[in-house]
Every structure is written in C-alpha cells, then in structure tokens.
Structure 1
Amino acid sequence: MWLVAGLGNPGPGYAQHRHNIGFRVVDELSSRIGAKFSAPARMRAEIAEGRLGAPGADSTRLVLLKSRTFMNDTGAALVRATGYYKIEPDHLIVVHDELDLDLGRMRVKLGGGDNGHNGLKSIRKSLNTGDYYRVRVGVGRPPGRQDPADFLLSNFGAREREDVELQISRAADAVESLITNGLERTQSSFNC
C-alpha cells in the first residue's frame, strides 16, 4: 500500500492557487483510479482509496490524501493517516509546489530538506523524518519583488493554464511510475 499526499490549502478560495498544485495532482490520480474523496471523522483530511493497475494480484492499493488543515499544519493530518493505514515513510509520496523550479519542470526524489516550504516543515516535525518520496512540481519564481507567499497564494495566469494542466497530468504519471518502476527509472524519465 502507498499513501500519496498532495499539499495545498482547503476550501474553494484556494483551489486554483499555485500552492495547491499538489491537491490537483491527487485529484487527477483519484480520477484515474475511479476513487472518490470523503472526509472520515477520525482524519483531518479528505481520503480516497483505490487500486493502481489492473485488478488482481498485480494491482497496488493506493490511499490519496488532501489535508483539511492549512499548509503549515499538514503534518497533523499526515501523521494520523500514516498511523491509521500503517504506512512507513518508504511508502509515502508527497506532491508539492516548488518555487525553485520553473513551470513545466519537475523533480522526483527521496528525502531532502524543506527549502522553506511550510508544508514540508510540518510533515518533518510530525513524522520526525524527511525521508519520504517527493514529487516537486515547478510553479516558478515570483516576478520582480513580489512576496513569494503572495505569489503562491495566487492563481496561475491565463497564459499558464494549458501548461499547468499538462504539468498536473505529467506529475500524476510520475507518481504512478514511482510506485510501479521505482525511483531511478522515474527520475530518468521525469526529472527535467
């Protein structure tokens, strides 16, 4: 079993923000596996469960998560889900926005620092480790002197939307590849 957590902020007002690209990737994955999100009372997250791959022995159980907490408290939701499903960090994938990568670029990796990302800081604090898989989805740097927080809490521009949809699909492909093909093959196919 794998748990894939998309990072973002809850609520419709945040849905199209750059900071919510992780939510959008797990939404794409839920659509692919035919799973619907629900909000179990015991969780601080929306959860969708399904199987990746053809039904039967070769399919992999998949739990998708979107926190119902704000980004800087994501760890609280993730620690409940990992405990409930008995998921170890080596079967956890976190999908998140990355300022240091241009839109259209992506990096898949295992472990690493938080790079100032409040969601990753919260996860590290709650799980006591940073050794989990990450799909870092580029959203670009803010123009001029715009505050990075304001930039992340803004919608993508009209000219970016087509690229964003392609990026979301590609990031979902990377998650599937990571689960089925492992880290090295996924990095060689998707890191750009």
Structure 2
Amino acid sequence: MTTDAPWLIAGLGNPGPWFRLTRHNAGFLAVDRLAERYGARFRRRGIGAVVAEIEVDGRQVLLAKPLWWSINLSGRPVAALLRRYGVPVERLVVVQDDLDFAYGTGKLKRGGGPGGHNGVRSVGEVLGTRDFVRLRFGIGRPPKGQSVGDYVLKKFSDGELAAMPQVTDRCADALETLVRLGLNRAQDALNVSA
C-alpha cells in the first residue's frame, strides 16, 4: 500500500428521503456528519454513488454513499469507487448499522463476518475479501415481537434523534483518528460506551 493512497469511507444506507432517518441509514448519517465538519458537499458520480472529498491532515479522504436501490447491493458501487480512485482495500472503511450494539455505542474492527448485515456481505462478496475496516454504529435490538426487518427500516425515536449529534460526532472523531493515527488509536477512542 502506498502511503499517499486515498482513503474511502463508505457509509451504508438506503437511498431516498423516506429512509433518511431510519436505523438502516446510520452509515449515511455518520459520513454526513464528517462531510459537514469539512464543509464538503456530496456530488453524484456515474458509479452508483455520491461522493464528497475532504482532506484530513494532508490525507485525501473520499466519503461515499452508495445509491443502488437497496443497501443490500452496496458492493458494486464500493468496488467501482475503489477502482476509480485507486484506493487499496486496506484503506476502505465501511460504516454500517449494527444490532449487536446499544444505541450510542460502536466498534471499529478490521475484517470479520458480516454478522447478518447484507450490505456488508455484498461488499465482501464483490471485493472477494473481508479485509477492510468496519465502523459498527450501534442501533440496538428490536423490541420483543418486532421483526429485525421492520426495526431497521423504522425511524429513530425522538430520544435517539436528540442524541444523534453526539453519536455521529463520536463516529466522525473515530474516523478522523483512524486516518491520522491508525486503527489501534481509533479503536481506543470509539470502542467504549457513549
């Protein structure tokens, strides 16, 4: 991996205004927050995604939101972005919602299985590797009697939305630390409860 290669941080979500504040769009919300910090705007690219470009301490970082009709098909646009911008898989970060963590918590890790997340599964299958970094944005478990499918497509509660700026700031802090100082330091910053 060349030291001047760019980073690609791909937030996963479903396109369209109806899905904007749903739990399955946590990845979009986290990359939106990082783009806001730098005053960057997302622009449509001809590769099934919108992309914003920022610079973190002199390092080029591409923020992306795949826009295929479903989060479950995120792999093809992510792979196209890697090829187009010459990003090695070691510098790919996928930001996803995760049922295994309470809201307001998260975890950064390299590799591992998709844990039932079809968007992450798609990225791994299309790339032929799972050796990318994942930021797992906790959304908690559905209440008893509610299906996972219904839960992830439900909008965040008023209380969760009120806390969203702090939660997405923690994600953005961890992503900046990852680019600046590496995975171990970023893990130390994020892998704790809010």
Do both share a fold (TM > 0.5)?
yes
- Residue aligning to 1:24: 29
Q: Give identity over the alignment, percent.
A: 39
Distance in 2 between residues matched to 1:80 and 1:189, nearest whole Å: 30
Give the 5 Å matches for 1:1-192: 1-41=6-46, 43-53=47-57, 59-69=58-68, 70-192=70-192
Deviation at 1:165, TM superposition (A): 2.4
SS of match in other structure, 1:3: strand
Query: C-alpha deviations, 1:59-96, integer Å up to 9, x for none?
Result: 11011100111111100110110010111111011111
Distance in 1 between residues matched to 2:123 and 2:41, nearest whole Å: 24
TM-score between both structures, scaled by the size of structure 2? 0.93
Distance in 2 between residues matched to 1:161 and 1:35, nearest whole Å: 23
Distance in 1 between residues matched to 2:36 and 2:160, nearest whole Å: 22
TM-score between both structures, scaled by the size of structure 1? 0.94
Deviation at 1:164, TM superposition (A): 2.4
Query: C-alpha deviations, 1:143-187, integer Å up to 9, x for none?
Result: 012101110000111122122221111111111111111111111
SS of match in other structure, 2:43: coil
**Partner AA of 2:180 in structure 1:** T
Aligned residues: CA RMSD: 0.9
Deviation at 1:191, TM superposition (A): 0.2
Distance in 1 between residues matched to 2:126 and 2:35, nearest whole Å: 25
Distance in 2 between residues matched to 1:187 and 1:31, nearest whole Å: 22
